[in-house]
Structure 1
Amino acid sequence: MFEDKTYKRCACKGPLVSEDGKPVLDDDGNQKIGYLEKTCPKLKQRAHGSWYYSLELPPNPDGSRRPRAKKGGFRTKEDAAEAATKVWKAAQDGINVLSKETVEQFLRRWVAKKKLDLAVTTAHEYERDIELYFIPHLGKLQLRQLRAGNIQAMYEWIVRDNERRVAHRKHVDGLKQQADEANAAWRAAPLEERAAKRAAWTAVRDLYTAERKNLQRVTGPATMRSINATLSSALNDAVEEELIAKNYATFVTLPKVTKPKGLVWTPERIARWKRTGKKPSPVMVWTTEQTAEFLDFVSTDRLFPLWHLIVFRGLRRGEAAAITWDELNLDRGVLHVTEQLVTVSYEVHDATPKADSVRDVKLDAQSVALLKAWCKKQRAEREEWQREGAWVNSGNRVFTRENGEQYHPQVFSDRWDRLVGQSGLPPVRLHDGRHGAGSQAFAAGVAPKVIQAMLGHSSLRMTMDTYTSIMPGLEEAAAEASVDLVAKAMEKIRKKKQDEEAKDRPDSAEQEAEEDDDGGEPVAA
């Protein structure tokens, strides 16, 4: 089908002739000089020139003709014919084979369109993935030439670069240790050696500082899957636009994601943490006693009502920062979670939580009392700052600074970390306080479905698998319950055997009669 659509041409120049062999003349009657292309006499030589194809494509939906598909540079006629066949099949599948749009051009156009109806954080993640990964590795490719192998190569590079990042982090850690040792040596050195020791410390310190600035986080399996989800979303739209035949992002192999298991700070884990400085898991929660100790320690902190809400009701940081008095009904003890504050490059944005996270949270009596006291405190602060003309209206937010200014959500995380460090307790992130709320509720016997509603999870499985760590007391009770169950069964079996043995054994009167019959001595009364 394509034999008559392939032809050979070259870049030689010479006198031009028409198809019927007549010279092509210019306005002055002189024969034109130009590219000979198909008419070059040397084309009969095997190694001269290259092969091209030219295809008539299927018409547009309105029946109008489309431009021909042309491409050259093939070594043989067979190569050109094979390429033409592939282009024809792609065109038959509805792909726009004439498009020269690159992956970079498409992705920039795609994300500009998607931003119109995306959450600000999602749009930021899309743009981050495009700039950091897709454009450097795939951007120069024409979109219609993109295949799964190109995408897989990108992820293979990420894995190799992760190894470099890990090695660099170890190098920086080693420099830090050297700097600490050099600093200690300088301070402990005799007076006559201190100048040299200080110079040695300064040199390694400066090297450590410079290398630390180049530290890069490892791109983990979960992040790689998030990156691929972004690309998959874009390529789905490319398929709909008939720019590619398939969503090739769905054909790649990615590392398996293992979600970190939430662990409780047991004495053994605390001892190991103090010895090594490493947390057993990224997700850690306190025991009931440790939680009580923390709340007692922060009871005089200005934001104690906030810490209380997070520890017992499991609010997210952005949800807590966004609470307004309009969404609080202290008479009924209900908090309506309808808004959250999110940060993109430290800039704060109002956002609507996911559908399952919009919920009513029932407040305990202690939380209600704390919030009522906080309300009075905030009113007094407002009156004082208004007299100075310095009160800031932050949209009736519940948790504000003394002058009414809205808190940045990161301030909550930083302040929590500082208080945890001062308390002497093992480290727990602010978000793990939410995890602990679910665990404490589970330990208290609250129904899992109620915990799911309180935390705003989309499924009960997420609540059970991810956020409800088992408290040590419950583990002990579960272990004892299993042993007790088996012990009761064993006791039941023993009693059954004893009853059967007693039933088969003759009574004492029958035994005496048998002994008399056998000539035995009579038993004295």
Structure 2
Amino acid sequence: MEKTCPKLTQRAHGSWYYSIELPPNPDGSRRPRAKKGGFRTQEDAAGAAEKVWKAAQNGINVLSKETVEEYLRRWLKKKKHDLAVTTHHEYTRDAELYFIPHLGKLQMRHLHTRSIQAMYDWIVEDNERREEHRAKTDKLGEEARAAYETWTATPQDQKELRTELRARWWDLRRQHTEARKKVQRVTGPATMRSINATLSSALADAVDEELIAKNYATMVSLPKVTKPKGLVWTDERVARWKRTGKKPSPVMVWTTEQTAQFLDAVSGDRLFPLWHLVVFRGLRRGEAAAITWHEIDLKKSVLHVTEQLVTVSYEVHDATPKADSVRDIKLDSQAVALLKAWRKTQQAERETWEEENAWIDSGGRVFTHENGKEYHPQVFTDRWDRLVELSGLPPIRLHDARHGAGSQAFAAGVAPKVIQQMLGHSSLRMTMDTYTSIMPTLEDAAAEAAVVLVEKARKKAAKVAGKPKKDKKGPEKGPKGKAAGKKLGPA
């Protein structure tokens, strides 16, 4: 009766099953037979058996029932001692936020490209929902501000109207506050590729374990990554920022004049030597926090970058920089002078705190608190942001100052290879790609600055030339005592 049997829905009645012999193990020993039942027709059982056989022929362990979640947790545990702390943290985060919720219940042998692609398609759709919610939240904020201005502008004698307007403002403010709690950052193309790199690493090991036939993470389609274009804070962009409060690009760089203004504004800050190194030598914050005195040769004016501090959930860890980031940086004379003065300050602070037995030995760190405790890298970021705000200059991130160091070096005519070495870039191409968008503006600014200097010199020279010169010796005398320049007769 096959499909027409009324008892077919009962699991133990009228169903088909397959039992197939699998290819032998690499050592020649036999594997257990693959068995499964509950198929309604013979064709269904035969089709399923054929898929299992093909998978086994491709080297897949078809007897494994391990799920994606089980595999990922096992893989992360195995990788814990092989990866850098930050890398393992990122892999774990990706697994918990994306792979386990979307793919975790699948058995590894059933994982395929379409399953992974469906996860990324969902992320793209979720991004649209997040952007829509953010737009609604921003609109609520604008309406709340407008309602507040309307309320405060209403005359005091119109009490009933003011009460009504105040209630409307308060309601909009409450809605805006609640909406802001649900605002989420979108998962951008670069983040999606980073996530996929994590999955690809995990699946590469799964292929080696014969859990899957291919690394399906390498076969998905992802949104194209558009790298943020670095821009210089020109006068026009500064004016627009003052009007709107919005940065034209996530990556912004100061002009030479703006950089000078910032350094003047923070010259009295305790960490001024650090800001000098960041602005002129492009140190990363983790590198700056990790510098020790034995890695600085003040006589030869060289800073050896061999260590960095990284943070995982705000917890600080020592780490070795990537190969290209381990480098020697030549220090300018002002940096050397600042570091010498800083060392004297630190030594004086140490003597003071040791009198109270309160000095904290940080292993010779250069930049420490007054009591010797090493700085958390985030302190540098927070302090930088605050100083930029107080300076009144357009905002740049601490990492943008690193871009500024490279840009200023380019503008000064320093060879690209030297800049690559200074910044610790992995390739010269990376250095050039980073600054090609910034250079024209800086070159224009430098050209204009040169013209201004020359024009000032010309005006000064012209002003001096226009003044009558006073000769202490009096007018020059001509023949027979007559004044020079007076018309004489024939010789």
Q: Bigger radius of gyration, 1 or 2?
A: 1
Tell me what 1:157 maps to: 122
Q: Residue 450 and residue 174 in structure 1: after superposition, are their counterparts in 2 closer, same or farther (change >3 A)?
A: same
* Aligned counterpart, 2:406: 438
Matched residue, 1:474: 443
Query: Is residue 52–residue 74 contact of structure 1 (8 Å, CA) maintained in 2?
Result: yes
Greater Cα shift, 177-186 or 393-402: 177-186
Label 1:370 to 1:204 Cα distance change in 2 as closer, same or farther (>3 A).
same
**Separation in 2, partners of 1:200, 1:317:** 46
Choose between structure 1 and 2 for higher RCO, CA contacts under 8 A separated by at least 6 residues: 2
Query: 1:282-431 counterparts in 2 under 5 A?
Result: 282-431=250-399
Distance 1:478 1:461 in 2: 26
Q: 2:411 & 2:423 partners in 1: Cα distance? A: 15
Structure 1 residues 99-155: Cα deviation after superposition (integer angstroms, max 9, x where no partner)? 000000001101111111111111111011100100111000000000000000000
Aligned residues with identical type, % of pairs: 76
Aligned match of 1:257:
225
Offset, 1:357: 0.3
In the alignment, the residues of structure 2 paired with residue 51 and residue 315 of structure 1 have an alpha-carbon distance, to the nearest angstrom, of: 69
Does 2:141 align with 1:141? Answer: no
- Whether contact under 8 Å (1:439, 1:471) holds in the other structure is no
| Aligned match of 2:179 | 211
Q: Which residue of 2 aligns with 1:112?
A: 77
Aligned-partner SS, 2:81: helix
Give 1:456's aligned residue.
424
| Farther-moved stretch of structure 1 (300-309 vs 202-211) | 202-211
Which is worse superposed, 394-403 or 148-157? 394-403
**Match in the other structure for 1:25:** none
- Contact (CA 8 Å) 2:24, 2:31: kept in 1 or not? yes
- The alignment status of 1:183 with 2:151, answered yes or no, reads no
* 1:522 matched residue in structure 2: none
Superposition deviation, residue 186 in structure 1: 4.3
Distance 1:478 1:386, change over 3 A: closer
* Alpha-carbon separation, structure 2, partners of 1:179 and 1:390: 51
State the distance in 1 between where 2:290 and 2:170 align: 46
Aligned residues: 438
**Matches of 2:343 and 2:259, distance apart in 1:** 25
Report the equivalent of 2:484. none
Q: Report the Cα offset of residue 381 of structure 1.
A: 1.3
- 2:39 aligned with 1:74: yes
Q: 1:321 & 1:476 partners in 2: Cα distance?
A: 33
Three-state SS of the structure 2 residue aligned to 1:118 is coil
TM-score, normalising length: structure 2: 0.85
Task: Decide whether the 8 Å contact of 2:232 with 2:442 is kept in 1.
Answer: no
What secondary structure, in the 3-state scheme, does the structure 2 residue paired with 1:421 have?
Answer: helix
The answer to whether residue 211 in structure 2 is matched with residue 246 in structure 1 is no
Aligned partner of 2:485 in structure 1 is none
> What one-letter code is carried by the residue in structure 1 that aligns with 2:257?
E
**Given the superposition, is the C-alpha separation of residues 249 and 300 from structure 1 closer, same or farther in structure 2, using an over 3 Å criterion?**
same
Distance 1:467 1:353, change over 3 A: farther
In the TM superposition, residue 471 of structure 1 has moved relative to its aligned partner by 5.0
CA gap of 1:367–1:431, structure 2 versus 1, over 3 A, is same
AA in 2 matched with 1:102: T
Q: Distance in 1 between matches of 2:207 and 2:260?
A: 56
Q: Which amino acid aligns with 1:86?
A: K
Q: Contact 1:183/1:201 (CA < 8 Å) preserved in 2?
A: yes
Report the 3-state secondary structure (helix = DSSP H, G, I; strand = E; otherwise coil) of the residue aligned with 1:116.
Answer: coil
Structure 1 unaligned runs (5+)? 1-8, 13-34, 38-47, 480-525
RMSD of aligned residue pairs (Cα, Å):
2.1
Letter in 1 for 2:439: I
> Shift in Å at residue 302 of structure 1?
1.0
SS at structure 2 position matched to 1:335: strand
Query: What is the TM-score normalised by the length of structure 1?
Result: 0.80
* Structure 1 position 476, deviation (Å): 7.5
Determine the C-alpha separation between the residues in 2 that align with 1:345 and 1:461.
Answer: 33
